[in-house]
């Protein structure tokens, strides 16, 4: 049962090892920071104490001449150092606030700008790729057209040859028939003559 | 062999010695030099309240403030644009908002066994966290989310005393003990909180923990849930919807009566209590399956006995502020 105490204790020790790792340096820093704060707080009151007394007689002296030394003028001059100061402070506060909003806007815009840049780059690469593809395809198309034309010409040639060969064949066949006819005629004449010769020979042998 | 009481005391001193490194910077819109002011680094106790730092911070940042006439108590602190509530102790704020991983030796041991060859297991769990970066503002006080402080520290004292009274009521069924503390005692208690003095605190706290004639009935505990967790159907809790700003999302506080002992006369452990109050998030009484309870930056074993845990590890207002961290 008391095992949980040990477990939890060990976990806390581990946690301290992590969270208090830089304790010395941080404590040293804190000491210095507090000392700086204390030192900064001391001089300004010392400096500001002598400054208001010389300021106010100077103000009074300066402003009394133009406003002809009225009591109301003195009161106004004593208040005027604080009014512009308060005004400046509010102005500075609003400017800083505006600056933060502008800063966030600028960050957003730069982020969207860089996003658009990358988009633009990818788009241009896509465009160049596509134009190249288009050029390739067009060239292929042209090549194929030329091939077709060439093939058409070949086809015509082949057809012409066929016609010529056909004519030749026709002519050759006619000649062959004529020759065959001549041949038959010649063979017939020779056979007739042979027959006549044979008859003459037969007749001559009978007579002798 | 240390006795039980000694072990509880040593656990309490461990709890009290916990501190966090803070890096506090002045908000740009309040700074004369916009974003060139230096940070204020401090190692601050987990059990203390950030409101006590305001005078020192004011002294440090006075040179860079646009309007140095703003009093120290009108400042407010934020983490990533989420205002830090004054009545939450620093340890609770860190566990809730910083997103730092709590120490869980069981899980890291198990993970090391599984990935024995990987050297990364050791590296990630031994990581030293950087100081917690907070921003201090002197304008645009978020009155709808923070209570307004006063120069004498009365608002802090009042909220602290309220917490103590609430804890006392839960413990005993009546706030008689706190109300009957002498003025001297209550002053000593508040001084102990302000100066982070454990022995002075214990002299008064023992009176609250051992009231004459009354027996301790329930353990004061507040459970903080990030609402990204599934909404559990808690049994009769007192829920407060506290919105902790846009980025952090909402945080739900669950409170329920946790008796010292179970009906079976066995002492109540953290596991049984969580299983009873939030059964959907803690289905098992012994093992943290879906989420783990984190107190003071470390996972608490589910077998922790509630009474002892309350004596050793409670915050100064008497409560155990437990944050639920989802696993995985």
pLDDT digits (tens, 9 = 90+) for A119-172: 999 999 999 999 999 999 999 999 999 999 999 999 999 999 999 999 999 999
Tokens of B105: 């030796």
Q: Tell me which chain A residues have a C-beta less than 8 angstroms from the C-beta of B104.
A: 11
pLDDT, tens digit, 9 for 90 and up, residues A103-114: 999 999 999 999
| Domain B18-101+129-137 -> CATH class | alpha beta
Mutate which of B95, B105, B139 to disrupt the A interface (most A C-beta within 10 Å)? B105
Burial class (CB in 10 A: 0-12, 13-18, 19+), B69: exposed
pLDDT the model gives residue A51? 43
Give dist(CA B126, CA B145) in Å, integer. Answer: 36
Q: Tell me which chain B residues have a C-beta less than 8 angstroms from the C-beta of A47.
A: none
Mutate which of B6, B10, B42 to disrupt the A interface (most A C-beta within 10 Å)? B42
ipTM: 0.81
Beta-carbon count within 10 A of B177 CB:
21
pLDDT the model gives residue B126? 53
Q: Are B154-209 and B221-326 in the same CATH fold? A: no
For chain A, say whether B273 makes contact (Cβ under 8 Å). Answer: no
The confidence band for A61, taking pLDDT boundaries of 50, 70 and 90, is: very low
Residue B328 has pLDDT above 90, yes or no: no
Give dist(CA A69, CA A78) in Å, integer. Answer: 14
| Domain B221-326 -> CATH class | alpha beta
| Whole-number average pLDDT of chain B | 83
pLDDT, tens digit, 9 for 90 and up, residues B93-140: 999 998 888 888 777 777 777 766 444 444 344 567 789 999 999 988
Beta-carbon count within 10 A of B51 CB:
23
Give dist(CA A195, CA A201) in Å, integer. Answer: 10
Q: What is the dihedral of CA B304, B307, B309, B313, to 10 degrees?
A: 170
CA atoms within 13 A on the CB side of A33: 23
Topology of domain B154-209, CATH: Serum Albumin; Chain A, Domain 1 (1.10.246)
What are the residues whose beta carbons fall under 8 Å from the beta carbon of B65, sequence distance 6 or more?
A: B26, B30, B31, B32, B138
Where are chain B's structural domains? 18-101+129-137, 154-209, 221-326
Residue B316 has pLDDT above 80, yes or no: yes
Q: What is the dihedral of CA B194, B199, B204, B205, to 10 degrees?
A: 90
pLDDT, tens digit, 9 for 90 and up, residues B173-213: 888 888 888 899 999 999 999 999 999 999 999 888 888 87
Residue B153 has pLDDT above 90, yes or no: no
| Placement of tokens 């009176």 in the chain | B207
Nearest 5°: the CA angle B22, B25, B28 is 160
What are the residues whose beta carbons fall under 8 Å from the beta carbon of B192, sequence distance 6 or more?
A: B198, B200, B201, B204, B316
């Amino acid at each position: 049962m008391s095992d949980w105490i040990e477990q939890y204790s060990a976990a806390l020790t581990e946690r301290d090892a992590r969270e208090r790792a830089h304790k010395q340096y941080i404590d040293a820093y804190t000491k210095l920071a507090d000392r700086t704060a204390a030192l900064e707080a001391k001089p300004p009151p010392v400096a500001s104490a002598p400054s208001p007394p010389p300021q106010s007689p100077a103000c009074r002296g300066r402003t009394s001449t133009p406003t002809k030394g009225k009591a109301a003028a003195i009161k106004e001059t004593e208040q005027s150092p604080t009014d512009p100061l308060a005004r400046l402070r509010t102005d500075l506060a609003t400017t800083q606030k505006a600056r933060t909003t502008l800063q966030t806007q600028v960050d957003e815009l730069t982020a969207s700008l860089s996003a658009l840049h990358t988009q633009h780059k990818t788009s241009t690469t896509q465009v160049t790729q596509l134009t190249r593809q288009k050029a390739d395809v067009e060239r292929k198309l042209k090549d194929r057209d030329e091939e077709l034309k060439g093939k058409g010409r070949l086809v015509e040639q082949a057809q012409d040859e066929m016609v010529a060969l056909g004519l030749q064949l026709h002519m050759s066949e006619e000649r062959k028939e004529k020759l065959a006819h001549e041949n038959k005629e010649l063979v017939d004449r020779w056979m007739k003559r042979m027959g006549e010769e044979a008859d003459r020979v037969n007749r001559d042998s009978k007579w002798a | 062999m240390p006795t039980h009481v000694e072990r509880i005391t040593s656990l309490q001193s461990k709890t009290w010695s916990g501190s966090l490194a803070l890096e506090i910077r002045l908000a740009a819109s309040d700074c004369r030099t916009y974003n060139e002011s230096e940070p204020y680094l401090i190692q601050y106790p987990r059990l203390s309240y950030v409101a006590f730092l305001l005078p020192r911070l004011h002294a440090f940042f006075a040179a860079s403030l646009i309007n140095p006439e703003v009093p120290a108590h009108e400042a407010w602190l934020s983490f990533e644009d989420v205002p830090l509530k004054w009545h939450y102790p620093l340890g609770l704020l860190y566990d809730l908002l910083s997103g730092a991983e709590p120490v869980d030796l069981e899980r890291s041991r198990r993970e090391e066994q599984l990935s024995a060859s990987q050297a990364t297991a050791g590296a990630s769990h031994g990581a030293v966290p950087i100081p917690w970066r907070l921003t201090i503002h002197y304008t645009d006080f978020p009155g709808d989310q923070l209570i307004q402080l006063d120069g004498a520290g009365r608002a802090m004292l009042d909220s602290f005393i309220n917490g103590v009274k609430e804890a006392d009521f839960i413990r005993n069924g009546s706030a008689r003990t706190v109300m009957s503390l002498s003025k001297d005692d209550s002053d000593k208690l508040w001084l102990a909180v302000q100066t982070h003095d454990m022995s002075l605190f214990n002299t008064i706290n023992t009176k609250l923990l051992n009231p004459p004639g009354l027996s301790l009935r329930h353990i004061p505990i507040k459970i903080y849930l990030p609402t990204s967790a599934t909404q559990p159907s808690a049994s009769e809790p007192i829920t407060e919807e506290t919105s902790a700003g846009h980025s952090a999302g909402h945080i739900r506080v669950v409170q329920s009566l946790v008796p010292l002992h179970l009906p079976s006369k066995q002492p109540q452990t953290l596991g049984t209590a969580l299983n009873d109050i939030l059964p959907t998030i803690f289905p098992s009484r012994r093992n943290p399956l879906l989420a783990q309870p984190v107190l003071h930056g470390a996972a608490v074993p589910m077998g922790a006995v509630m009474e002892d845990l309350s004596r050793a590890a409670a915050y100064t207002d008497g409560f155990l502020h437990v944050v639920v961290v989802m696993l995985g």
